[in-house]
Amino acid sequence: MTGVFGRSSVSSAAGPGSTTDLGHAASGAGQAGSGPDEDGPRVGVRVRVPATSANLGPGFDAYGLALGYYDDVEVTLRRRGLAVNVTGAEQVSDGEDNLVVRAIRATFDELGRPQPGLDVRCVNRIPHGRGLGSSAAAIVAGVAAAWALDPGAYLAAETGGSSSGAPAGLSSGADAFDRSGALRVATAIEGHPDNVAAALFGGFTAAWTGPDGVAVHRAEPVAELRPVAFVPSVRTSTSASRGRLPELLAHEDAAFSAGRAGLLALALTLPVSAPGGQNAPGGRSVAGNHGVPGNHGVPSNDGVPGDPTAAVAARARLLMAATEDRLHQPYRLPAVPESAALVERLRAAGVASVLSGSGPTVLALAVGGAQAATAVGVPAPGFAVLPLAVDRDGLRVISAGSR
C-alpha cells in the first residue's frame, strides 16, 4: 500500500516474548466529550500500548526501549458524533484535537475508510511531558485501533446494507493490522520514529528513515536488564528541549557518540562473559561476536564458563561507557538540574543512567536485581521511583468485537 505516508520496513533479531503489566491504577477525574447517544449494537476494539524511553544516551532520535507501564484505549464505532472519556490524564482534550482521535482519523484517511462517529475511552497511566513516550503511546493506540476497525462495513450494516465479516465493523484478511504500515503512519504524525517504533514492536528498537521511508530493526534485550524510571512532578516540552540543541557539532563529538551508540546496541542485546571475573585478554570486552569469520581472532564468548556475577558486572561496566553521550544530554541536562544531579548520583553508584527522551525523567539501566536495588536506593527527592520490566511485545490488541 502506498500513500502520503510513504513506505516502511521492519527487521527483527528476535521475536517478541512475554510482557509484564504492572497494573498501576489510573488516577484523576474523567473527561467526556459530547455526541448523540445511539441504540443498537456497537463494534469496537481495546488496545494496550507500553511506555517507551528514546535515545538511551547516544542513540539520539533512533533508539527506543519499551517499558512495562501501559496506557489502555478502547474505541467503539458509532453512526455519528464523538464522545471521549479520559481517566488519569492531565489537561487532555476531549474533542477532535485529542491525539488518539487525530491518529484514528489520519489512519482512516490513509486506509481510504469513511469517518464514523467514535466513542473513545482512555486509561492513561503513562505520565505526560516526562519523557516516557506518552504522545507516541496515544498515536500508536489510535493508529492500531483504526486499523482494526472497518467503519464502512459498520455503517453499511447500520443502514441495512450488506457487509462482510462477523461482526460487521472489524477488519479482516488483507485489511488486518500491519505493524510496518502502522509505523509509517504513526511516524508521520509524531515526527520521529524512535518512540513509536518501540511502542509498536516492543523490546529494543533502532529506527531510521531512508529512501523507502521509515524502517526499524528490533532486537531482544538481555533478560537481566532491569530498568528503573525516576519520574519528577515537573514537565518538559520536547520542542523546547530540542531548541537547546546546537545546529552544528564538532566531528570529535559526533564520532564519540557514534561509537558509544554502537557499543550500546551490543551491551543491551548480546551475551557478555568475563571468565574468572576478568575481561578478555588485553583488556578488551568480549561482546558476543558469535565466532564470525574475520573477527581478527577475537573468540566468541557464547558458552564460555565463568562467574555469572562477574558477567553481570562486565555488562554494567559496558553500559556505563555505552550510555555516554555528546549529542544532546550535555545541552539538555542544565535545564533540568535535579535530573542532572540524579544522573550523576546514579552513575557514581555504578548504574548506567540517562535522560529518558528529552527528560526530565531519568532512566537507570540496571543489570540484575542487586544493581536495580542499588538504583532504587539512590536518594531521589522529588522523583517517583518506578522499577519496571522491559516490555517485549509492544502494542497488543486486548479485545475486539461487539460491545
Q: Return the minimum-mean-pLDDT range out of 63-72, 231-240, 368-377.
A: 231-240
Q: How far apart are CA 188 and CA 181, in angstroms?
A: 11
- Tell me the three cell numbers of residue 95: 474533542
Model confidence pLDDT, tens digit, residues 378-389: 999 999 999 999
User: What mean pLDDT is predicted for residues 250-279?
Assistant: 83
What's the whole-number mean pLDDT along residues 242-266?
A: 87
- Nearest CA to 340 among 383, 389, 376? 383
Q: Is 265 annotated as a binding residue?
A: no
User: What is the residue-averaged pLDDT of the chain?
Assistant: 82
136 in a known ligand binding site: yes
Collapsing DSSP to helix, strand or coil, 365 comes out as strand
In contact, 182 and 51? CB cutoff 8 Å: no
In Å, how far from its chain's centre is CA 26? 19
Residue 43: the pLDDT is 87
Chain position carrying cell 479482516:
172
pLDDT, mean of residues 303-307: 51
3-class DSSP state for residue 249?
coil
Annotated binding residue at 24?
A: no
Q: How far apart are CA 329 and CA 99, in angstroms?
A: 28
Per-residue confidence band for 227, with pLDDT thresholds at 50, 70 and 90: very high
DSSP-derived pairing of the beta strands 362-367 and 396-402: unpaired
281 is in an annotated binding site: no
Residue 161 marked as a ligand binder? no
Omega cis (within 30) before 41: no
The answer to whether 127 is a known ligand-binding residue is yes
Distance CA 59, CA 61 (A): 6
Give yes or no for a contact between 57 and 354, defined as CB atoms under 8 angstroms apart: yes
Q: Please indicate if the annotation marks 130 as binding a ligand.
A: yes
- pTM (2 decimals)? 0.82
Residue 134, marked binder: yes
Q: In whole angstroms, what is the distance from residue 106 CA to residue 139 CA?
A: 10
What is the set of domains in the chain, with CATH numbers? 43-157+165-215+393-402 (3.30.230.10), 219-272+308-387 (3.30.70.890)
Check whether 131 is labelled as a binding-site residue.
Answer: yes
